[in-house]
Amino acid sequence: MPTHVPYGYQSVSPEEKRRRVLGHFETIAQRYDLADLLLSGGLHFWWRRKAMRLLQLQPGESVLDLCGGTADFAVLAARDVGPSGTVVVCDISPAMMIAGRSKARRAGVLERIQWVQGDAERMGLADQCLDAVIVGYGLRNLVSLENGLEEILRVLKPGGQFMAMEFSIPQAAWLRFLYHQYSFRVMPWAGRMITGSAAPFHYLAESIRVFPPPEKIRTLLINLGLERAAIHPLSNGLAVLFSAVKPPVHSL
Ligand SMILES: C[S@@+](CC[C@H](N)C(=O)[O-])C[C@H]1O[C@@H](n2cnc3c(N)ncnc32)[C@H](O)[C@@H]1O
């Protein structure tokens, strides 16, 4: 592990990044869903559904919603895998998962979901126990992206599916300009109005910019041994889905 890692535009120790990221989500947990809805203009519902359509989860499967927070993906996955399936939410923030539990209860799928407070880079889950791992807006927050992806590979069954959703920089120049103004000026202000704290939204805008571009993430997935690694841009590149599959045992 390096002595310093990027935290937005700053460089901090790994422990400091973990501490700050946790602090942000503990602070905004109760208003996270409202902020997600208003700041994405509702687009995130569509993006999540597209991710689930690509995944095609089957009844009875076991799925991890990693960095699962308030459990949006977990609730969708729980519907797809049905009563015979299992969904695990793993997150470092207890406050985010408390908000997620209420949502899962309202959706009638609470009993299908297990909640694990833990670090994505060293999960206490068994090797090869999951049919799919979904990471919504989580990879950017990890101290070491490589460690996180290796850990995901470890817990996936051979043939298991990986799906991640991340914010990205829009492809069209005009939209990039608007997005820049929006994310550095409007978002921290609106974020503070909604959650009471602007710092997580300054970090959000900066962390999107320092996160590796989609093609580099795809290369990382391929180098780690994942197959069928693909990029699916959403809404002109405002967000992106990464999908890949762990190779079946016989081809390892
Ligand atoms: C932006 S939120 C995304 C929540 C949810 N996945 C979604 O799609 O809305 C990022 C989540 O990642 C969690 N997180 C950040 N670093 C983590 C880590 N190292 N291990 C586990 N969870 C982490 C945060 O606590 C937070 O709940």
- 3-class SS shares of the chain: helix, strand, coil, % to 5: 50, 20, 25
The number of folded domains in the chain is: 1
> 220: domain CATH number?
3.40.50.150
151 CB less than 6 Å from ligand 1?
A: no
For 186, the domain range is 5-251
The b-or-e profile of 181-220 (16+ CB within 10 A means b, else e) is eebeeebbebbeebbebebbbbbbbbbbeebeebeebbeb
**Nearest atom (ligand 1) to Cα of 36:** 9
pLDDT of residue 88: 98
- The protein residue with its alpha carbon nearest to ligand 1, atom 26, reads 69
96 CB less than 6 Å from ligand 1?
A: yes
- The protein residue with its alpha carbon nearest to ligand 1, atom 13, reads 67
- The protein residue with its alpha carbon nearest to ligand 1, atom 23, reads 67
Collect all residues with Cβ–Cβ distance below 8 Å to 120 and sequence separation of at least 6.
66, 67, 90, 92, 135, 138, 142, 148, 151, 152
pLDDT tens by residue, the chain, 252 residues:
889 999 999 999 999 999 999 999 999 999 999 999 999 899 999 999 999 999 999 999 999 999 999 999 999 999 999 999 999 999 999 999 999 999 999 999 999 999 999 999 999 999 999 999 999 999 999 999 999 999 999 999 999 999 999 999 998 999 999 999 999 999 999 999 999 999 999 999 999 999 999 999 999 999 999 999 999 999 999 999 999 999 997 454
Compute the distance from residue 222 Cα to the ligand 1 centre, in Å. 24
pLDDT of residue 252: 44
- The protein residue with its alpha carbon nearest to ligand 1, atom 7, reads 136
Compute the distance from residue 249 Cα to the ligand 1 centre, in Å. 30
pTM: 0.96
25 CB less than 6 Å from ligand 1?
A: yes
